[in-house]
Structure 1
Amino acid sequence: MGTTGDGDSSPTRPKWRKVAYGGMQPGFDDNHTDETFLAGMVTNASVVKRDIGKVMQDSISISQYLCIVALVVLVWTYTLRSSLSENSLLILDIALLVSGFLILTLTEEMVSFSLLFHYFLNISFFTTGLYVLAPIYQTLTRSISSDSIWAVTFPLLLLHLFLHDYSGSTITAPGALKNPNLTSCISLNASVVASVFIASRLPSRVHVFAIMLFSLQVFLFAPLITYCIKKYSFRLHLVFSVGLMGVTLALVYALHPLVFVLLLGIFIFVTVVCPYWLIRIQAYKFEINGPWDEAKLCFDITD
């Protein structure tokens, strides 16, 4: 009696296929892989190669806003020392408002009369509300010492700087699709509370109104103005930022040389050290992608 070979008696084993959603394949375990499994492995597929010059240019926006906050603190300090009168503060407020409108008009391509009127109407209501609420702000912290006010204001400013959106502006034009995120709102609220605390230490109603108007103009509209300048011309943005750093450092040096050294060190750390550090640590980044990653379904919806 003849016998048949093993190859004839057993059916041909099906070939294993790599599928995302197909269940168990007959003849193979659910976790089976063959010799081609690691052939699809890719390392550092989505790692962005960064240029140190580009990173340093992007970091200037952070140093620029640090200058803006430092200038606000300088104005607060000189006001509390009675070096700035209420009339000087009002002139400064008007100058900032006019220059902001001019920059917005010259740099924005889609600015219309209706949009400018919308901004002007909102600012009118804004300034009227500040003037009405000035007596309340003046007496808000009468029973609290000045040292306690500064002790609370400093962490609030740090929180503001830490959560601030350095990639865009705090406010957007009417009808814009992008709205400020939660961290930007928290950052703005921290700056407003800090401004109220500082304003409550001033002696007169006009003083309180002037310093609150100045602070809120800077914290609300300065990010929008600097964003418009950067979008209009990056070279103009660099010139404006470098000039702002120079003015800030000169004013801080006149106030205290030690603070000048500290602020200069922060600028160097943010603009030079951090970009170099980021480029250096990119060499240690190791990202692995392969068939074991979660499948991503792509749907092509066409008319």
Structure 2
Amino acid sequence: MTVKERKKWRKVLYEDQGVPDNYVDDSFLDEMKKNVNTRTYKLQNVIIESGVVSQQLSSICLFIVTFIYMEEGTLSPQLLFTVGSLMTVFGYLLHDIVDGRRNRKDRTRMDDMKTICLFLAVSFGLSPILKNLTDSISTDTIYAMTVFMFLGNLLFHDYGTTGAVTSDALSLNAAIFGSVCLASRLPTIWHTFSTIAFAIQVFALWPVLRRTLKRHIPYSQLMMTWLLATVTMVALFTVKTVGAVLFLIGHFSITFLFPFWLIKLQPYKNNIHGPWDEAVIKDIK
């Protein structure tokens, strides 16, 4: 009796090979690859890059401390507005010097001045409305909403990586909404106006300057991280020791503990790739 030799199995579905559709032979796993395109990180680089998260956390804590000073009467709205304006002018000039893009014809300094004047006029005009916006809402609810908004700012902030969760617009809107909630609890219209202006400086303008300095002067990141952390620590100690201790723990975890943990777990990464992956259509030019 002659046994007909079976043809070699091929990975196709358009012809009957006498086997079920889910059949595979011993050569199926020959195409398996592990950790394709895996990046290896160094502890020093991860610590420096994690400073961006610490900087944003420090900015939020400094804003909250400023609100507490305003509420207690320790800081006047006129002083906050003056100091904030001077720091904004300094940051604006520093951005132009470092970035070197002021020669663009699409926008001049006069256009920037018009935008600033328009923003200040609109903010001051809306301050009476914002001042009485949350009168019917309890203070505990306002504080809870502010906490969630600032957490949203931290979560969706653009830290220089690409991802579906990153959204500059959502992060900024969450921070401004939380700032408006706090500003509505201050005693006068001037307090509300100064707080809203300071929120724009902290959450809209300051991140732009940080990204510019990081792009052109990479070594400035480490200095900014420690400077902001030190100022925030001192400011929190003047308000509440518990808050300063919690900030210290959070800063240490973000800057040192989590990067060290990431490096230690890096050798255990084991992603497998093979013929079971989804097909990717490549554009051949």
d(CA) in 2 for partners of 1:198 and 1:137?
10
* The one of 179, 187, 194 aligned to 1:210: 194
Query: How do 1:68-217 and structure 2 match up within 5 A?
Result: 68-112=59-103, 114-167=107-160, 183-217=167-201
Asked if 2 retains the 8 angstrom alpha-carbon contact of 1:16 and 1:25, the reply is: no
Going from structure 1 to structure 2, the CA distance change for 1:32 and 1:143 (only over 3 Å counts) comes to closer
User: 2:215 corresponds to which residue?
Assistant: 231
d(CA) in 1 for partners of 2:281 and 2:78?
64
User: 1:57 corresponds to which residue?
Assistant: 48
Asked if 1 retains the 8 angstrom alpha-carbon contact of 2:29 and 2:274, the reply is: yes
TM (norm. structure 2) is 0.88
Aligned: 1:242 with 2:226: yes
Going from structure 1 to structure 2, the CA distance change for 1:54 and 1:25 (only over 3 Å counts) comes to farther
Going from structure 1 to structure 2, the CA distance change for 1:27 and 1:124 (only over 3 Å counts) comes to same
- SS in structure 2 opposite 1:201? coil
d(CA) in 2 for partners of 1:35 and 1:146?
68
273-282 or 141-150, larger mean C-alpha shift: 141-150
> Identity over aligned residues, as a percent?
31
- SS in structure 1 opposite 2:26? coil
Asked if 2 retains the 8 angstrom alpha-carbon contact of 1:78 and 1:84, the reply is: yes
* The one of 2, 5, 9 aligned to 1:6: 2
Asked if 1 retains the 8 angstrom alpha-carbon contact of 2:127 and 2:193, the reply is: yes
CA distances 1:26-64 after superposition (whole Å, capped 9, x unpaired): 455544433322221112223322222211111011001
d(CA) in 1 for partners of 2:157 and 2:18?
58
* Residue identity matched to 1:126: F
CA distances 1:260-286 after superposition (whole Å, capped 9, x unpaired): 111110000101111112222323322
Structure label with greater radius of gyration: 1
Unaligned runs of 5+ in 1: 169-177
CA distances 1:151-182 after superposition (whole Å, capped 9, x unpaired): 332222222222222227xxxxxxxxx9x987
Unaligned runs of 5+ in 2: none
CA distances 1:40-95 after superposition (whole Å, capped 9, x unpaired): 11122233222222111110110011111111111111001111112201212211
d(CA) in 1 for partners of 2:39 and 2:269?
10
Asked if 1 retains the 8 angstrom alpha-carbon contact of 2:156 and 2:165, the reply is: no
Going from structure 1 to structure 2, the CA distance change for 1:279 and 1:258 (only over 3 Å counts) comes to same
Paired residues in the alignment total: 282
- SS in structure 2 opposite 1:224? helix
143-152 or 260-269, larger mean C-alpha shift: 143-152
- SS in structure 1 opposite 2:219? helix
TM (norm. structure 1) is 0.84
* The one of 32, 39, 49 aligned to 1:41: 32
d(CA) in 1 for partners of 2:40 and 2:97?
35
d(CA) in 2 for partners of 1:213 and 1:108?
24
**What is the Cα-based RMSD across aligned positions, in Å?**
2.5
